[in-house]
Structure 1
């Protein structure tokens, strides 16, 4: 059985480019972490994804998020591939190519981590008939527990702008008793969680809008800023 939400993420050590991971738990420290996997080096979709993450590195850093990729090739291959990633990232921005990646790429040529973390896509195979590593996204909290996982097939590229939105939602809901509704964006209205009583909600939030529904049940409570009172 794979990892479930709330499980402690496994600690491991791994070779990586440019910096090895001596202990994944120490790498997490007091940060949020995103670990995202790739089928192989020098592949088109993976190159675009890693380039996009490099471009967004400052946005993740603002949110105290550390990034680390995983690909099923060795460190030397990662080193050569990184030049392509950086070139693509620079050309897409119309800027000069950076000299180093903003994150490390774990080497998993034996697919040990991919197997352990349930990243294998049985429906997509390489030229040798071996199942490819799926495009997994794991968001891990400072408590070392899995907060979110998304598993894309190897043929579908990820949307890292959406992953930033997910991080914003996770960090907000970790700090306040709210939930984010459909298509939520930072600064937009949130829903007060049903477990909070009306009195507790009134003490905690400045403004609450209760939506009147045909059922008559007052469970859909909206707070615009979800600002907790001092």
Structure 2
């Protein structure tokens, strides 16, 4: 899979559920250009097992992302109607009721394909019939997109491996720090910790102090 880092995020217009209850037909990340950082994440399927833990964990941290000028948007290859049904199902019944950030429907699988996270590939058999090898659903991809629409960070997990929401938040903090101060963020950096100047002297000073 080719990386999208430092490239424009693939653009799309697709159905989505917003505010946990309203279906819109032409949702796009373009609305955030020049305004917000975007944490755009893919998950495999609605009404499954690891996925609701991640989706609800993003919701729990949503105010923290918003304080850092970031929005969270989820996406899977389910339909918008399935998204809405899941959003209307109580947590105690395996649902994600209470989630308010947008969930995009990628039923055609074009968004997942363009972001490089579809869990397989289309090909043809010996008779010329179209087949799919792998799983025709999205891997657990997370993309941090800056306000100019450029991907600055991506990480992709296999289906059984839930992602770390705190680290997604940390990357928003790191990107904002780099943009504001022109410094670079060393290993295990988090908001409030010392960063360093991207010079030989700056690195030496930082390493000597740590």
Query: Is the shorter-chain TM-score for this pair beyond 0.5, marking a shared fold?
Result: yes
2-structure distance, mates of 1:192, 1:129: 44
Correspondence for 2:50: 45
Structure showing greater relative contact order (alpha-carbon pairs closer than 8 Å, 6 or more residues apart): 2
Shift in CA distance, 143/55, structure 1 to aligned 2, threshold 3 Å: same
1-structure distance, mates of 2:116, 2:66: 27
- What's the RMSD between the two structures over aligned residues? 2.7
Give the number of the structure whose alpha-carbon radius of gyration is greater. Answer: 1
Does 1:61 pair with 2:66?
A: yes
Give yes or no for contact 2:13–2:28 (8 Å, CA) kept in 1.
yes
> In the comparison of the two structures, how many residue pairs are matched?
190
Shift in CA distance, 178/129, structure 1 to aligned 2, threshold 3 Å: closer
Deviation at 1:102, TM superposition (A): 2.1
Give yes or no for contact 1:67–1:104 (8 Å, CA) kept in 2.
yes
Does 1:4 pair with 2:4?
A: yes
More strand as a share of residues: 2
Aligned 1:79-158 pairs, distance under 5 A: 79-84=84-89, 87=91, 100-122=98-120, 130-158=135-163
Matching residue within 33, 36, 39 for 1:34: 39
Gaps of 5+ in 1: 92-96, 199-209, 211-218, 224-230
Per-residue deviation, residues 48-99 of structure 1 (Å, max 9, x unmatched) = 1001111111011100101110011101100111134x626xx9xxxxx996
Q: Once superposed, which parts of structure 1, at least 4 consecutive aligned residues long, lie more than 4 Å away?
A: 97-100
